[in-house]
Amino acid sequence: MEWKTDWGLRGRMFFTMFLLVVVYLVFIAILSQLASAWLVVGFAGVFLFFQLFFSDKLALKSMGAKEVSESEYPELHAMVSRLCQQADLPKPAVAVADTRTPNAFATGRSKDSSTVAVTTGLLQTLDQEELEGVMAHELAHVKNRDVMVMTIASFLSTVAMLILRWGFLFGGGGRNRQGGGGGIIVAVVASLVVWIISFFLIRALSRYREYAADRGAAAITGKPAALASALLTIDNRMDKVPKEDMRSQSEMNAFFIIPIDKGIIARLFSTHPSTERRVERLQDLAGRQETA
């Protein structure tokens, strides 16, 4: 299979990003009226810097994932090297997390500073072709620069949440310009509205990018059915993961190949499409591959 641009998917992602930009520009304009514009820009810039340069390390640490050498995991390294050649990518660092939860994720702001991580539960659960499909999916995220895109898309949403949670950072300017606590109230309401809207837009964007990574994995391996099988295997295995493991790792859902939260409510707010929809698309790709 060739790595082809899905223009329908690309258009939906672009439209979602456009809506996010509009929401964030309005948010910045409101905050600029309540505090110094330089304070708004400076705070956002510093926050974005830390997200871009340190979020990968925090993600790995939160999962207990450690970078492993070729001597420790020779087969895993060989697989990643082979897939990187097929995807025309520099080889990322490889990390392993010692947990029973079967999952994988990619992190890093660029192709040259990325890491792909797997759990020991995943290595014990999947066969060779299924594992290749999952690793190719993570490499497709790296190739598409998804970590950087999602970091940039979400950072002002996080700023809005910080304002709501930790003292309404722009309240001082609000008291000076608006009188009393009016500025604080406006900042809180604006932050709440921005957070709610961006919450759903970012999840829509994340779901689109998961479809794109699935398609990319199929292009890298030429075996969409293997990834579909892996997704079903992981999804079925989640029911056997101890509840305490799932709770401790649920904040990493946006990074995982399959989110570990289950149920109707979890799916409504999920960063991923349903496994069933992803499998249907992969099976459709497999069917077209066979008839080509």
DSSP-derived secondary structure for 236-274: HHHTTS-HHHHHHHGGGTTTBSS-S--SHHHHHT-SS--
The C-alpha torsion from 77 through 78 and 83 to 89, rounded to 10°, is 60
Active site residues: 138
Residue 208 contacts residue 16 (beta carbons within 8 Å): yes
Q: Could you give the CA distance from residue 85 to residue 91 in angstroms, rounded to a whole number?
A: 8
CB atoms within 10 A of CB 111: 18
Amino acid at 219: A
The C-alpha torsion from 17 through 22 and 28 to 34, rounded to 10°, is -150
Query: Which residue shows structure tokens 């930790």?
Result: 166
E strand intervals along 41-187: 65-67, 93-97, 104-107, 115-119
Instruction: Extract the tokens encoding 81.
Output: 């090297």
- Name which of 1, 7, 86 is nearest 289 in CA terms: 1
| Residue 242: exposure state from Cβ atoms within 10 A (0-12, 13-18, ≥19) | exposed
